[in-house]
């Protein structure tokens, strides 16, 4: 396999990258040379059989091995890492296409969708309308103080509900007017 030397050099140039990436979703095994090459080739071709063969796996079992490798979380992370540079190289072309569509598309709908895509990619989001009532604010948008006040209100409401449903179980004191006379 002539391309193993280039793989080894690439992995030595970035020694902690695969290890850091593999711990992002929990403790996972680092990729060996063939797995790293499979991830790189799969990101390039999208064909598990071809990627497995070019990574050095036997051609007779390449399809099964490729499918098995795709099921492993550490391989999926390796593929994502390998695909990232390719996506980054495509980014200027994609933005140019969106700019062109936003400026020159015949359809107003296409121009609007392109403009929205550009704004979304910039990280801009439309402002949320202010809640009319306190109960309309989602919990994940509340401050710590607001959450504590909300919990205190819920606790007080629960206590009031329990108190209103309580039944008096103390025995009634005998009424002196009802005492039998002898």
DSSP secondary structure string for all residues of 25-72? TSS-PPP-HHHHHHHHHHHHH--HHHHHHHTT--GGGHHHHHHHHHT-
Sequence ranges of the domains in the chain: 4-85, 90-121, 134-164
> Tokens for 100?
């062109």
Sign of CA pseudo-dihedral 19, 21, 27, 29: negative
Contact by Cβ (8 Å): 35, 75: yes
Q: Per-residue confidence at 64, pLDDT binned at 50, 70, 90?
A: very high
All residues at 6 or more sequence positions from 18 whose CB lies less than 8 Å from its CB, including other chains: 11, 30, 31, 36, 78, 81
Q: Which residue has the higher pLDDT, 91 or 55?
A: 55
pLDDT above 90 coverage of the chain, percent: 40
* Residue-wise pLDDT tens digits, 78-90: 999 989 988 888 8
Q: Which residue has the higher pLDDT, 136 or 9?
A: 136
> If you average pLDDT over every residue of the chain, what do you get?
78
Q: What is the pLDDT of residue 50?
A: 95
Contact by Cβ (8 Å): 81, 17: yes
């Amino acid at each position: 396999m002539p391309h193993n030397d280039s793989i080894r050099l690439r992995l030595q140039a970035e020694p902690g990258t695969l290890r850091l990436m593999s711990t992002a979703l929990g403790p996972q095994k680092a990729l060996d040379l063939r797995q790293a090459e499979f991830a790189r080739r799969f990101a390039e071709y999208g064909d598990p059989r071809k990627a497995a063969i070019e990574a050095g796996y036997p051609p007779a079992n390449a399809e099964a091995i490729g499918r098995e490798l795709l099921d492993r979380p550490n391989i999926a992370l390796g593929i994502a890492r390998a695909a990232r540079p390719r996506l980054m190289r495509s980014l200027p072309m994609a933005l140019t296409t969106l700019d062109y569509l936003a400026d020159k598309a015949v359809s107003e709908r296409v121009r609007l969708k392109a403009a929205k895509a550009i704004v979304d990619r910039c990280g801009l989001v439309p402002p949320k309308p202010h809640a009319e009532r306190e109960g309309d604010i989602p919990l994940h948008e509340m401050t710590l103080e607001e959450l504590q006040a909300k919990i205190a209100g819920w606790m007080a409401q629960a206590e009031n509900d329990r108190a209103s449903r309580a039944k008096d179980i103390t025995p009634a004191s005998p009424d002196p007017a009802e005492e039998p006379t002898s």
